[in-house]
Amino acid sequence: MKTTLLAALGLTFASVCNLALAGPTLERVEKNGELVNVLMENYPPFSFLNEQNQLDGFDVDVAKAVADKLGVKLRLETPSWDVIAAGRWNGRYDICICSMTPSQARAQVFDFPVTYYASPAVIVVNASDERIHSAKDLSGLKVGVTSASSYEGYLNKDLVIEGAEDKPLVYPFEAVQVAPYDNDTVAFHDLALGAGVRLDAILTNLVTAQPRIDQDKRFKLAGDALYAEPNAVAIEKDDAEWRAKVESVFAELRQDGTLAAISKKWIGSDISQ
């Protein structure tokens, strides 16, 4: 009886230790049997509502793969990008597999355990526009961006990409009129009205812009890509156990080819890192 009691106490102590070592986020995910991922509702092909009015896309599939590796259900939340990027979630969300670019400012509130894909930042203009051929031509013009995005930081000339401090960005333009939008979709609607009607240009991700340009001849690219934009998984700061778990899961997804397969499905090529 005494041996049984000691064994039981030992198991209880081991369980408590495991929970203590799990970290607040991992403990919450395991306890609830659910991973809460936060992302945008209008950022195709990474996240968008499909014809069945369900969230779909590259980031959605990656989040599903992560939840599968963890052995839990996936729940998706879609607050505004301002809310996502502000951080300090206080346990409302577990992870942001949501195409976030690391920056020095964001590193104050987030940890970025994994960079999972990269794509160029580009300028999109109305197809009738003959004024804009490079970033230098944006001086004094009105440029649409997603609010609180890295593109807004670039136009404000204060973007520093976390981990790339030794490669300062070039800002060849004078002051730009920055027009923040909740998402790219509305910005493209405004640009479609004509060159300079509501917008002169949009600064965005090549991967999201290219399908729109291919499908709608009212848009075109202007000049070369401005910089390579790494996109990382973001988690709440200072949760070492959760960070290690996320790193481990993504290492498995790379090794077994899952990330590459998701990338080829949605992008047509492997942009995973």
Q: pLDDT tens digit string along 126-163?
A: 999 999 999 999 999 999 999 999 999 999 999 988 87
Q: What is the CATH number of the domain that holds 170?
A: 3.40.190.10
Q: 31 and 111: one domain?
A: yes
Please give the DSSP secondary-structure letter assigned to residue 272.
B
19 — pLDDT class (breaks 50, 70, 90): very low
- Is 8 within a domain? no
User: Which of 94, 87, 85, 211 shows the shortest CA–CA distance to 150?
Assistant: 85
Residue 241's domain spans which residues?
24-118+231-267
Q: 224 and 128: one domain?
A: yes
- Can you tell me whether residue 262 is helix, strand or coil? helix
The tokens describing 217, both together, are 């001849």
Residue with tokens 């049997």: 33
What is the total count of domains within the chain? 2
Please say whether the beta carbons of 200 and 123 come within 8 A: no
Measure the CA dihedral 143/149/153/155, to 10°: -10
Residue 252 pLDDT: 98
Across the range 195-208, mean pLDDT stands at: 96
Q: 112 and 32: one domain?
A: yes
Q: 109 and 203: one domain?
A: no
Give how far the C-alpha of residue 18 lies from the chain's centroid of Cα atoms, to the nearest Å.
Answer: 31
Q: 159 and 37: one domain?
A: no
Q: 112 and 206: one domain?
A: no
The tokens describing 135, both together, are 């970033």
- Is 18 within a domain? no
Q: pLDDT tens digit string along 153-192?
A: 999 999 988 877 778 899 999 999 999 999 999 999 999 9
* Helices 240-255/58-70 angle, 10° precision: 110
Q: 105 and 238: one domain?
A: yes
Q: 215 and 239: one domain?
A: no
